[in-house]
Amino acid sequence: MENNKQKQINEAEQALLHVYNRFSLVLDHGAGVYLYDTDGKKYLDFASGIAVMAFGYGNKEYNDALKAQIDKLIHTSNLYYNVPTAAAAAALKKASGMDRVFFTNSGAEAIEGAIKAAKKYAYTRDGHAGHEIIAMNQSFHGRTIGALSVTGNEHYRESFEPLMPGVKYADYNNLESVKAAFTERTCAVIMETVQGEGGIYPAKQEFLEGVRSLCDEHGALLILDEIQCGMGRTGNMFAWQGYGVKPDIMACAKALGCGVPVGAFVMNENVAQKSLAPGDHGTTYGGNPLVGAAVTKVLEMMERDNIPAHVREVGAYLAKRLDELVARHDCLTARRGVGLMQGVACTKKVGEISAKALEHGLVVITAGSDVLRFVPPLVIEKAHVDEMIEKLEACL
């Protein structure tokens, strides 16, 4: 069996572009909050496919909804209407309290659309192009050129410059730095409501409120990236709802489809009426009937089962157990996060801890260079938290 696993890894390495340093693990199937490799070894999953698999694996209700749609209609293009996508858009409108939805295939595409909408809004208002966007240092918004241009990490950007011009960087949770970056050309501020890849940093209340006020004062749009922190992960359907600070445009993805490739950017009616018009934006696959069925079912289950309330309860317990872990281990220096999006800063090499965790049957990932990231399925229970702590303790 081991040889067979190595054969599969070798075949993958010979055929796939080497842009990931993957762990020596070939995953075969999942059940509940556990994954199983091709050797039959069981792993407690505290990564959920990087905050995607909100309901874990093998959820019958979700799977049946997709199977039924596959037998009916998978794709039509956006030249025609289809029922699942209209239902998905209505459900996302209701969950977000926003007005207009554009479905994409990924989070990066949702960011691209949000940037285009902000630029077109300013163009429509001012009658000219050449506007600027303020983004945050240590942010992460995606790998495409536009998304990379507003990602505040030189390591990701330097090989691909020149990128999109007209982007200024401010410091997250530092309102004065945002204020200093504003000019008459500023059309938008883009930021994660909780920084993910940058190390799990939630926005401070006064910072988010202050940025909202600055945008209103200057006639700029607030774009919130909820790709990782949205869809119930922080204990609200969207993290900004916990702050009471509403964006003009929001990007979401990941758990929006719980495994099918789908993202969305959502906006208020004012931006919708004054930005993207027919011919300005489009996608072949975006919002096809298959992903529409997935999004509709995900949002239905989240609301019916009150997943955000469950996240608040289990998230508080996870935070408590992680705080205890930090107190016990000198190599752990701080816990940050909200709900089931938590991070622990570590002086040891987090990549090595992540690899060691696999030996103990635990999937846990990293954020930045020194943070262990915990983004499990949203349906985990306190017993799973205890099991995770026990396994992590063994690694440390």
pLDDT single digits (tens) 261-280: 999 999 999 999 999 999 99
273 assigned to some structural domain: yes
Cβ-contact 47, 365 below 8 angstroms: yes
Q: Do 22 and 84 fall within a single domain? A: no
The answer to whether residue 171 is domain-embedded is yes
Count of structural domains, the chain: 2
Which residue in the block uniquely carries the two structure tokens 């001012």? 126
Q: Are residues 48 and 26 in the same domain?
A: yes
Overall average pLDDT of the 231-248 stretch: 98
Half-sphere exposure of 52 (CA within 13 A, CB side): 15
Q: In terms of C-beta distances under 8 Å and separation of at least 24 residues, what long-range contacts does 321-328 make, across chains too? A: 321/385, 321/386, 321/389, 322/374, 322/389, 324/389, 325/389, 325/392, 325/393, 325/396
Distance CA 12, CA 171 (A): 40
- Digit-coded pLDDT (tens) for 360-395: 999 999 999 999 999 999 999 999 999 999 999 999
Q: Average pLDDT for residues 227-246, to the nearest whole number?
A: 98
**What is the C-alpha separation between 230 and 217, in angstroms, rounded?**
27
Of the candidates 273, 269, 250, 253, the residue with the CA atom closest to the CA atom of residue 261: 253
Contacts with 293 (C-beta within 8 Å, 6 or more apart), sequence order = 65, 66, 68, 69, 84, 88
Alpha-carbon distance of 196 to 138, in angstroms, equals: 9
- Of 304, 325, 342, which one is at a domain's C-terminal end? 304
In this structure, the answer to whether residues 253 and 374 fall within a common structural domain is: no
Q: Which of 266, 281, 304 is the last residue of a domain?
A: 304
What per-residue confidence (pLDDT) applies to 4?
A: 85
Task: Report which DSSP code applies to 278.
Answer: T
Q: Are 189 and 220 in contact (CB under 8 A)?
A: yes
pLDDT at 3: 65
Identity of residue 355: A
Residue 340 banded pLDDT, cuts 50, 70, 90: very high
The answer to the question of residue 8 being in a domain is yes
State the average pLDDT over residues 163-182: 98
Query: pTM for the whole thing?
Result: 0.97
Segment 25-53, tens digit of pLDDT: 999 999 999 999 999 999 999 999 999 99
Please spell the DSSP secondary structure of 360-382, one letter per residue.
Answer: TTEE-EEETTTEEEE---TT--H
Residues 6+ apart with CB under 8 A from 374: 46, 318, 322, 337, 340, 341, 342, 343, 344, 364, 388
Give the mean model confidence (pLDDT) for residues 312-335.
Answer: 98
CATH number at residue 350: 3.90.1150.10
- Residue 231 backbone class (left: φ over 0; alpha: ψ -120 to 50; beta: rest): left
Tokens read off for 177? 């730095």
The CATH number of whichever domain residue 105 belongs to comes to: 3.40.640.10
pLDDT in tens, 145-163: 999 999 999 999 999 999 9
Domain boundary among 304, 338, 360: 304
Rg (alpha carbons) of the chain, rounded to whole number:
21
Half-sphere exposure of 357 (CA within 13 A, CB side): 27
Tell me how far CA of residue 253 lies from CA of 8, 55, 256, 301, in angstroms: 30, 15, 5, 17
Same-domain status, 223 and 192: yes
Tokens of 144: 């495409």
Is 65 within a domain? no
With a cut of 80, say whether residue 227 has pLDDT above it.
yes
At residue 1 the predicted structure's pLDDT band, cuts being 50, 70 and 90, is very low
Residue 193: predicted pLDDT:
98
Any domain includes 152: yes
Amino acid occupying residue 38: T
Domain of 333, in residue numbers: 2-58+306-395
